[in-house]
């Protein structure tokens, strides 16, 4: 049962790690709202890296944001958090592969492998938390601007990229929790290997002493 939970946690962590890249590549983090807008033939949609515009004929044009420091603070924070979540997810995958009981990496020291797997679970949790903060902060800003009657700019709605990010964060948090729970379960048949084996020198000394005892007894019986 423990091995099944570890494999499930590895699958969830890998799926969430892939979904982060899909979310970052998705261009629809936010899309201009048609509610109260007089122009309905064109749409503007953005993600963390670029802004695009399309019209009713299907022609669209995209441009990268020209300056990093000119971006709003929540966009810069979302970029940093998403990149950090990718790094945490990478470390989590490596630690999980090394700490699984069915893996041959690290030998048969299951105590050490369990600790490494627990570290992988912590990395998964950090990955999910960073992703959740990034997409939730971005969505909260969109919602605040949409319901602000005095906001002078373009009002946007939540796009598909944010939903993919939420799904990725949920999978990462669930996978990290499963991995930590599996590492806390200690089975009675758990095999623990020790790196240092007892030296054979003691057996040699013991055999020598036995031989001396036998020979001395034999010598005494000769004179009888």
Q: How far is CA 208 from CA 30, 205, 218, in A?
A: 83, 5, 15
Q: Compute the C-alpha angle 136/142/143, nearest 5°.
A: 85
Residue 69 half-sphere exposure toward CB, CA atoms < 13 A = 0
Over residues 159-174, mean pLDDT: 95
Q: Which of 206, 34, 196, 9 is nearest to 89 (CA)?
A: 9
Structure tokens at 205: 């000394």
Which residues, 6 or more positions from 60, have their beta carbon under 8 angstroms from its beta carbon?
Answer: 52, 53, 54
pLDDT in the model for residue 56 = 72
Strand stretches in the chain, DSSP E: 30-32, 42-46, 50-55, 60-64, 156-158
Residue 33's pLDDT band, with cuts at 50, 70 and 90, is: confident
Q: How far is CA 144 from CA 38, 110, 138, 155, in A?
A: 21, 50, 10, 10
pLDDT in the model for residue 184 = 63
pLDDT in the model for residue 216 = 47
Residue 101's pLDDT band, with cuts at 50, 70 and 90, is: confident
Structure tokens at 36: 């109260």
Residue 54's pLDDT band, with cuts at 50, 70 and 90, is: confident
For the chain, domains (ranges, CATH) are 2-198 (1.20.140.150)
- pTM over the 0.85 mark: no
pLDDT over 60 at 196, yes or no: no
Q: What is the DSSP letter of 197?
A: P
């Amino acid at each position: 049962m423990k091995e099944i939970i570890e494999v499930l946690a590895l699958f969830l962590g890998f799926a969430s790690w892939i979904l982060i890249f899909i979310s970052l590549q998705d261009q629809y983090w936010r899309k201009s709202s048609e509610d109260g807008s007089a122009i309905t033939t064109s749409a503007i949609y953005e993600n963390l890296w670029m802004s695009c515009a399309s019209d009713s004929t299907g022609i669209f044009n995209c441009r990268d944001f020209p300056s990093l420091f000119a971006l709003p603070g929540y966009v810069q924070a979302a970029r940093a958090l998403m990149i950090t979540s990718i790094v945490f997810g990478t470390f989590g995958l490596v630690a999980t592969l090394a700490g699984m009981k069915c893996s041959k990496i690290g030998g048969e020291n299951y105590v050490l492998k369990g600790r490494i797997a627990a570290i992988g679970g912590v990395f998964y949790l950090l990955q999910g938390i960073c992703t959740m903060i990034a997409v939730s902060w971005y969505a909260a800003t969109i919602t605040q601007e949409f319901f602000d009657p005095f906001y002078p700019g373009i009002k946007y709605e939540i796009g598909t990229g944010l939903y993919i990010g939420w799904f990725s964060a949920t999978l990462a948090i669930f996978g990290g929790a499963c991995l930590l729970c599996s590492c806390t379960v200690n089975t009675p048949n758990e095999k623990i290997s020790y790196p240092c084996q007892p030296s054979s020198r003691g057996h040699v000394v013991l055999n020598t002493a036995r031989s001396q005892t036998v020979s001395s007894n034999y010598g005494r019986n000769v004179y009888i």
